[in-house]
A = this chain, B = another copy of it.
Amino acid sequence: MPDILRMFSYPFMARAFAAGVAVALASSLLGVSLVLKRYSMIGDGLSHVSFGCLAIAAALNWSPLAVSLPVVTASAFLLLRLNESKRVYGDAAIALISTASLAVGVIVVSLTTGMNVDVYNYMFGSILSITQTDMILSIVIAVIVCGVFALLFHRIFAVTFDEPFSKATGLNTDVYNTLFALLTAVTIVVGMRLVGALLISGIIIFPPLAAMRVAKTFRKATVLSAIISVICFFAGLTMSFALNLPAGASVVALNAAVFIIMFAAGLISSAVMKRKV
């Protein structure tokens, strides 16, 4: 298939592959902890927060990014740190913040004469329209995320698994939680801008959940999640080129398919096991 090989001759495809693999790697690594901490919907929730920000930016005639980047990052950070007080469930916190942002956004839009931008333009990035700078940015972020994650891997596990124990035995849980929240906030916010909210949400949940179907240890789950994510990204983007399908949605659909296969495999294998006995 020379046609498929041809795709690398387009600079935008090369950029998409490079940036996408970087983002896929970073998000899927963080995804395992996010899913376990009940933050599966964080991507979706933050996209609503950014709608609220855009509405306010338009009302104040400020630059949309100048408002949304810091506010969304702060929300992500807040969401992740809220969990620790254990007073609000992770998913409930997301629902609260995202619904409230939507409501505020709708009210602000109605109070002002209107907006200057189509919000969807700002919320849905596209992996295909990534610039050189964006690509470098995402690679830098991915390298930082993967590096810090690897170095903190065991500590992130300990804190996610049993925070009181870690705290009691002298681990600086605050530092690790803060670092984790920071990495996540940056990855999601930048990722959402570059590759779109849909793709980011998809990468955060599908690979970790698929990996958790079969992996019994945190390390295996994390590594498998990263592998699934990168492979699905590659295959999805290629599929998008070959079959002329939307890029981000193809990657997500492929991730979903892998999850379903893993899920079914898990069910079947346990059924077979049962019969064997």
Where the two chains meet, the residues of A that have a C-beta atom closer than 8 Å to any C-beta of B are: 35, 38, 40-41, 44-45, 48, 87-92, 94-96, 98-100, 102-104, 106-107, 110-111, 198, 201-202, 205-206, 209, 245-246, 248-250, 252-253, 256, 259, 266
Contacts and interface: CB of A to CB of B under 8 A. Distances in A.
Given A92-B205, A96-B256, A107 B246 contact: yes
A201 B88 contact: no
Please give the count of copies of this chain that the complex contains: 2
B40 A94 contact: yes
B250 A107 contact: yes
A206 B107 CA distance: 18
A201 B206 CA distance: 24
A107 B249 contact: yes
Nearest to A105: B249
Contact of A252 (B100, B111, B253): B100
Contacts of A249: 102-104, 106-107, 110
Given A209-B88, A253-B103, A246 B95 contact: no
A253 B40 contact: no
22 contacts: A40-B91, A40-B92, A40-B96, A41-B91, A41-B94, A44-B44, A44-B99, A87-B266, A88-B209, A91-B91, A95-B201, A96-B206, A99-B202, A102-B198, A102-B249, A103-B198, A104-B253, A106-B248, A107-B245, A107-B246, A107-B253, A110-B245
B246 A106 contact: yes
